[in-house]
Structure 1
C-alpha cells in the first residue's frame, strides 16, 4: 500500500530536522493525520496534514527557543542536471551547509555529470561526491521556497513559492576556462540568493 503521507513526512523531516528528532516530527504528523482522517475530500487530506503539522512544529520550536523558522528550500533546475544545476547545488552546500535545503534536477537528465564541472569543483576544494543526476518527481503537496531555472522556461508539476530565472551559459562542450567563468557566475548568484533568504 502506498503511503500517501510519505512526502509530507519527508518534507517536514527535511525542514524541521535541525530542531526536532525524527520521533517528535512523526508523532506530530500522526496526530495531524488522525485529526484530519474524516475530511470529506480525501485528496485534500495530505495538504491539510502538512499545514497543521507544520504550524505545530513552528509553534513548538518558537516556544522552545529552537528557532521557529524551518530551513528554506531551493530547487535548481536545468535541462540535463549535468552542469549548471549541479554547480549550484555543490556551491550551495559549500556556502550554506545544513542551513538550507537544496535539490537539483533536470528536465531530461542524460549523459552523466559534466566532468569539467567536477574538475572545477575539485580545483576549488568543493565536495561533489554527493552529486548525482536526477529527474523531476512532481510533488503535489510540497513547494520549494525558490525554484531557480537555468536554461529552461518552466518545470511542469513542480510548485514553488517563487520562481527565478538565471541567465547562465551551459558548460556543455565548453573549454575549462569558460567552465571556470560559469562557476564564478553561479557562485555569485548563489551567494546573492542565500543573502536574500537570510542564510549566512
Structure 2
C-alpha cells in the first residue's frame, strides 16, 4: 500500500470514528487519541500494509474503554435516556420533554415507539400543553451499535417488556390514564416530574432550570 493510499484509509477511519463516537466524546479528543496511536504505529512499523487495520483496532479499543468506564469525564459528552411505554407513547414523550426542560442539552432524552393501534393520549397532551412542554420530538432511531445504547432506559410500567437495551434500566410503575379526570392527570404528571428530578440526581447531572410550577 502506497503512502497516499495509507493516508486516505486513515482519513476514512478518522471520519468513521467521529461519526460513531462524537456523541460520547469531543471530536478534538478523538483526534488526539487517533493521532497518538498513528504516531505509535508509524514509529515501529516496518511496512504500512497493515497499519490502518492496527490503528483502527487500537483506536476503537481505547475510545470505547474511555466511553464505558468514564461516562461522566467530559462536559461535552451527552448521554441518552430512553423512556418506554408501548401502551401510551404520549406518556413516554411527556417524560422525555420533562427531562429536557430540566437539564437542557446535558442529556439527550427520547421516547420509544408505541404500538401503532394506540392513539395519542389527548388528556396527557392537554396537560403537556398547559405546562408548555415541547411535544415536537423526534423518536430515537433503532440501532444495533453498542454505543447507540442509552445510558438509561426507563420502562414506565411494570408490565413493559424490557427489550430496549441500555447500560442501566429502571422500572417506574406508573398507572394507566384510562378513566382519569383532569386533576388526576395533573397529579400523574407531577409524580412523573418528581421521578425525573430523582433521575437527574441519580445520573449526577446539574439541572438547567429550577423545577416547573405545577
TM norm. shorter chain > 0.5: yes
What residue in structure 2 maps to residue 161 of structure 1?
167
What residue in structure 1 maps to residue 195 of structure 2?
189
- Which stretch of the first structure deviates more once superposed, 146-155 or 178-187? 146-155
- Which stretch of the first structure deviates more once superposed, 66-75 or 100-109? 66-75
Structure 1: any 5+ residue segments left out of the alignment?
1-5, 40-44
The equivalences for 1:5-154 within 5 A come to 12-16=21-25, 20=26, 24=28, 37=53, 50-54=60-64, 67=74, 70-80=77-87, 82-106=89-113, 108-129=115-136, 131=137, 134=139, 137-142=142-147, 143-151=149-157, 152-154=159-161
Contact map agreement 2:85 2:160 (CA 8 A) in 1: no
**Count of residues in correspondence between the two structures:** 177
Q: CA deviation at 1:36?
A: 6.9
**Residue deviations 1:30-49, cap 9 Å, x none?**
878x977369xxxxx89x76
Contact map agreement 2:89 2:111 (CA 8 A) in 1: no
Does 2:185 correspond to 1:179?
yes
Q: Provide closer, same or farther for how the CA distance between residues 113 and 105 of structure 1 changes in structure 2, counting only shifts above 3 A.
A: same
Contact map agreement 2:153 2:168 (CA 8 A) in 1: yes
- In structure 1, what is the Cα distance between the partners aligned to 2:185 and 2:140? 23
- In structure 1, what is the Cα distance between the partners aligned to 2:102 and 2:95? 10
What value does the CA root-mean-square deviation take over the aligned residues? 4.1
Q: CA deviation at 1:50?
A: 5.0
Look at both structures and tell me which one has the larger radius of gyration over its CA atoms: 2
- In structure 2, what is the Cα distance between the partners aligned to 1:109 and 1:35? 49
**Residue deviations 1:139-198, cap 9 Å, x none?**
241222211111244332x33221110011122553322221111111000010001111
Q: Provide closer, same or farther for how the CA distance between residues 163 and 90 of structure 1 changes in structure 2, counting only shifts above 3 A.
A: same
- In structure 2, what is the Cα distance between the partners aligned to 1:99 and 1:78? 23
Structure 2: any 5+ residue segments left out of the alignment?
1-14, 38-49, 207-214
Q: CA deviation at 1:8?
A: 7.1
Q: CA deviation at 1:115?
A: 2.3
